Structure 1
Amino acid sequence: MTSSSYPVVSVLRTRHTGYLLITSLLGRLPGAMAALAIVQLVRSTSGDFALAGLITAVYVVAGAVGQPLLSRLIDGFGQVTVLVVSGILSFLAFTGMALTLDPAPGAAIALAAAAGIFTPPLEPALRALWPRLVSPGPPLKAAFSLDAGAQEIIFIIGPLLTVAGIAVFGPVGNLLFAGGLGLIGALAFSINPAPRAASTKRPSNVTAHSGEQSPILLPAVARVAAFTFGIGLPVGALTIVATASEAARADPGLAGWILAVNAVGALIGATVVGIRPLGSTPERLLALCGILLAVGYLPLAATALPALAYIVAAGISGLMLPPTLGQVFERISELSPPAVLTEANGWVVSAMTLGVGAGTLVAGVVVGASGPSMVIWIVVGASTLTALFSLIAFPGRPRVG
């Protein structure tokens, strides 16, 4: 078999792609480390879990706000400048947050917002580069699926690095460690020739771009963003579902296995579609993938399953996430004007973040109020909402310019 038989191999053999993917993942690690790092730091100082939750929420929401804003700056001024400056500012904010949390928690909250807002938009930057680096058709489909699957590695490695960072550097040093990894990743990504070429080969009419409407105002792009919010709901709810299932079964460690195997399932899904990309267009596949993702989570409502079977169900629920996100990225690249493609990807990243956050928040409130017995309704409710949001993506709606 030649590499052309396996598009994902062709993608990885393309110049710059492997380096950009790895450095992008390195720069995104703070997003997978920050929540646990903040909680552990607060525990070592005031021990106030409410404060830990508030700071984490501020960081996440600020990140969701910052990604499309910074992405729009990339479309106007190029990738290198924005990634380098935002990486430095985010690292400084992480440093300030770590050093001020104990003496000045109010300042730490403000710095958490700064760390989130200035998170380097590496996800949208990389996705704007894929169409430049790989050929249309199966290779581009494989690149987007590979990108989506590789994200799962972050959420496997991130918590492990946090534990190791606390052991080596302590809670304060660990937060600096997380911020430092983000800065190193952003700088390493930026020195590659591909981002520099994208910065120097922007549309010549930069002034006109400054007056161009945001892509989120295009109804077709807004529908994809809403769809992406919907697929984030069961992903976010899974953290609470896993924790509640562990408590209900009095089985320490079960939650960790559920989340880890879910990530493994996502890696398997990414591998399969990387080797054999889905054949149809994302316009036709988007809604179907979303509905299949929703159905894949439903077995987790069977809380009476034996623990091993429940863990297997968690793996099945992860299979469709990378294929679905791959369709999202490809569809956005089709719908968005090239001059604002990075911003369009930034909105999708924010929509996913907000969906995950909403799923976690609502599931946590429900379990907190009514106990682990509500897991079945959380799963059914999240899957139903995902399926309903998927209807937004059905083809046949009026097109926009």
Structure 2
Amino acid sequence: MRSYLSVWRLPSAPVLLVAGFAGRLPSAMVPLALLLMVQQRTGSYAVAGLAAATYGLAMAGMAPVLGRLADRRTPRPVLLAQAAGYPLLLALLVAAVLGGAPTAVVLAASAAAGAATPLVSGVVRALWSRVDPEVRGTAFALDATATELVFVAGPTLVAALTVLAGPAWALGVSGVLAVAGALGVATSAAMRRWVPVPDGPRTSPFATVLTPGLPRVLLSGAALMLGFGALEVAVPAFAEAAGAPGASGLLLALWALGSVAGGLWFGARVVSVSLPRQYRWLLLGVTIGLAPLTAASSPWVLGALLFLGGTAIAPTLTVQNSLVGSIAPAHATTEAFTWLSTMATGASAVGAALGGALIEGPAGVTGSLLLAVAGAAVAVLVTLVPGRRPTRGRAPEPVAA
């Protein structure tokens, strides 16, 4: 607990934690609320799924571009511009759907809103990478734990607002939260002390993502998230096959809560093992935790196994973030973290699609669960592939968050 207090006492830590949580909630709320709103208006899950996927892909594709701009000019003007533009584009998206606009218009509005999503997550992680190394690991642990809570609170809030007022209201609340989070981070004391590091030589638009050591972290993270995407569609299918479709939300919440518990425990520990070794062993722990899911016989058993298996997730993400922060060029930390988010978003979508196909085929739910285990196992194997030793340019001076 003392280690968490040391982070909380940093000047801007409460703002970064609270505003970061609020600003990340839309990432778990908008795709689901958009899916529900489009389906209600069109009666088509295909169109609804396409709109949600378009939003997510646009968000993932634009993030590294804006991340690079944020590193060059400081993230503040980027966040302020997004805080002004995002709610307007989200309102246009709601108007297009409720107004019965053609599918092409809805998709275009979804892409525009997704591309304008505030870079709260990447900027907050970049700020944490600049704090004193003695508390940096704990800060990343709190950040990973808060991210897990986002995916518990976000869908729950969407469900409640949809029942009480409708999915359009859930999108409206998402816009308010995004603006609050972006403004909170943009006006924090840590942001005011951000000094851009002179840009290094760039031979291609992918210079940052090709930094020695970073491709292995990104590819292993993508493999892991592909498995998680498969698991996220396998759990509702398992619950429906067991005759308890309403239990899917509870099961996924147990998985996230297990991760929260593991993250809080791990963040209070002092680990002397190197970050790459920690990352490899934690990925192995995730793989071992996922393996028993294929033998679950009931939703109750699955819930217990999800909670236990989830305890390794937040620690893994904590070390993953620490690795990215230590490997990324000093002039491109925000961009590096946005690449991590982009890879995770894309891989999760692919995993969900593959998992759904397996569930509909002869392999069934077990096939999707096996894909989840395979994704985590591939992530471990990626970390074993030899590569160039990570190097880093002049690091930014540590600042109190």
Residue in 1 aligned with 2:263?
270
Residue in 2 aligned with 1:128?
126
> Is residue 30–residue 181 contact of structure 1 (8 Å, CA) maintained in 2?
yes
Residue in 2 aligned with 1:255?
248
Q: Cα distance, 1:254 vs. partner?
A: 2.1
> Is residue 212–residue 387 contact of structure 2 (8 Å, CA) maintained in 1?
no
Partner Cα distance (2:230, 2:345) in 1: 12
> Match for 1:327 among 299, 311, 319?
319
Kindly tell me: are residues 357 and 277 of structure 1, through their superposed partners in 2, closer, same or farther at Cα, counting changes over 3 Å? farther
For residues 175-204 of structure 1, what are the alpha-carbon distances to aligned partners after superposition, in whole Å with 9 as ceiling and x for unaligned?
222122212211122111211221xx212x
1:283 aligns with 2:276: yes
Partner Cα distance (1:395, 1:280) in 2: 19
For residues 20-74 of structure 1, what are the alpha-carbon distances to aligned partners after superposition, in whole Å with 9 as ceiling and x for unaligned?
1110111111111112211221233111111100001111111111221111111
Identity of aligned residues (%): 28
Partner Cα distance (1:186, 1:210) in 2: 31
Match of 1:382, as an amino acid? Answer: A
Which of structure 1's runs of 4+ aligned residues deviate more than 4 A?
Answer: 206-213
Kindly tell me: are residues 213 and 302 of structure 1, through their superposed partners in 2, closer, same or farther at Cα, counting changes over 3 Å? closer
Kindly tell me: are residues 369 and 88 of structure 1, through their superposed partners in 2, closer, same or farther at Cα, counting changes over 3 Å? farther
1:220 aligns with 2:213: yes
> Is residue 230–residue 371 contact of structure 2 (8 Å, CA) maintained in 1?
no
Kindly tell me: are residues 249 and 166 of structure 1, through their superposed partners in 2, closer, same or farther at Cα, counting changes over 3 Å? closer
Q: What aligned pairs does 1:169-188 form with structure 2 within 5 A after superposition?
A: 169-188=165-184
Q: Cα distance, 1:217 vs. partner?
A: 1.8
Kindly tell me: are residues 223 and 96 of structure 1, through their superposed partners in 2, closer, same or farther at Cα, counting changes over 3 Å? same
Residue in 1 aligned with 2:107?
109
Q: Cα distance, 1:170 vs. partner?
A: 3.1
Q: What aligned pairs does 1:328-343 form with structure 2 within 5 A after superposition?
A: 328-343=320-335
Q: Cα distance, 1:250 vs. partner?
A: 0.7
> Is residue 209–residue 339 contact of structure 1 (8 Å, CA) maintained in 2?
no
Q: What aligned pairs does 1:74-85 form with structure 2 within 5 A after superposition?
A: 74-85=70-81
Match of 1:76, as an amino acid? Answer: R
Give structure 1 stretches of 5+ with no counterpart: none
Partner Cα distance (2:166, 2:233) in 1: 27
Kindly tell me: are residues 39 and 76 of structure 1, through their superposed partners in 2, closer, same or farther at Cα, counting changes over 3 Å? same
> Match for 1:375 among 365, 368, 384?
365
> Is residue 284–residue 394 contact of structure 1 (8 Å, CA) maintained in 2?
no
For residues 348-393 of structure 1, what are the alpha-carbon distances to aligned partners after superposition, in whole Å with 9 as ceiling and x for unaligned?
11111122212211111111234xx622222223212321222222
Kindly tell me: are residues 225 and 322 of structure 1, through their superposed partners in 2, closer, same or farther at Cα, counting changes over 3 Å? same
Residue in 2 aligned with 1:388?
378
CA-based RMSD: 2.1
Kindly tell me: are residues 97 and 381 of structure 1, through their superposed partners in 2, closer, same or farther at Cα, counting changes over 3 Å? same
Structure (1 or 2) with the greater helix fraction:
1
Match of 1:389, as an amino acid? Answer: A
Partner Cα distance (1:376, 1:279) in 2: 38
TM-score (norm 2): 0.91
Kindly tell me: are residues 255 and 164 of structure 1, through their superposed partners in 2, closer, same or farther at Cα, counting changes over 3 Å? closer
Residue in 2 aligned with 1:19?
15
> Is residue 12–residue 18 contact of structure 1 (8 Å, CA) maintained in 2?
yes
Partner Cα distance (1:206, 1:307) in 2: 52
- Specify the SS of the correspondent of 1:27: helix
Residue in 1 aligned with 2:54?
58
Residue in 1 aligned with 2:396?
none
Partner Cα distance (1:212, 1:361) in 2: 29
- Specify the SS of the correspondent of 2:133: coil
TM-score (norm 1): 0.91
For residues 259-293 of structure 1, what are the alpha-carbon distances to aligned partners after superposition, in whole Å with 9 as ceiling and x for unaligned?
01001101101110111143312122112111211
Match of 2:176, as an amino acid? Answer: G
Partner Cα distance (2:121, 2:225) in 1: 16
Kindly tell me: are residues 214 and 360 of structure 1, through their superposed partners in 2, closer, same or farther at Cα, counting changes over 3 Å? same
376-385 or 92-101: bigger deviation: 376-385
Equivalent pairs counted in the alignment come to 389
Partner Cα distance (2:378, 2:240) in 1: 30
Partner Cα distance (2:161, 2:204) in 1: 45
> Is residue 227–residue 374 contact of structure 2 (8 Å, CA) maintained in 1?
no
Partner Cα distance (1:348, 1:131) in 2: 14
1:146 aligns with 2:142: yes
- Specify the SS of the correspondent of 1:253: helix
Residue in 2 aligned with 1:300?
293
> Is residue 97–residue 108 contact of structure 1 (8 Å, CA) maintained in 2?
yes
120-129 or 205-214: bigger deviation: 205-214
For residues 241-260 of structure 1, what are the alpha-carbon distances to aligned partners after superposition, in whole Å with 9 as ceiling and x for unaligned?
11111121112322122101
Match of 2:214, as an amino acid? Answer: V
Kindly tell me: are residues 166 and 307 of structure 1, through their superposed partners in 2, closer, same or farther at Cα, counting changes over 3 Å? closer
Match of 1:152, as an amino acid? Answer: E
Partner Cα distance (2:154, 2:265) in 1: 24
1:398 aligns with 2:388: yes
> Is residue 233–residue 355 contact of structure 2 (8 Å, CA) maintained in 1?
yes
Residue in 1 aligned with 2:29?
33
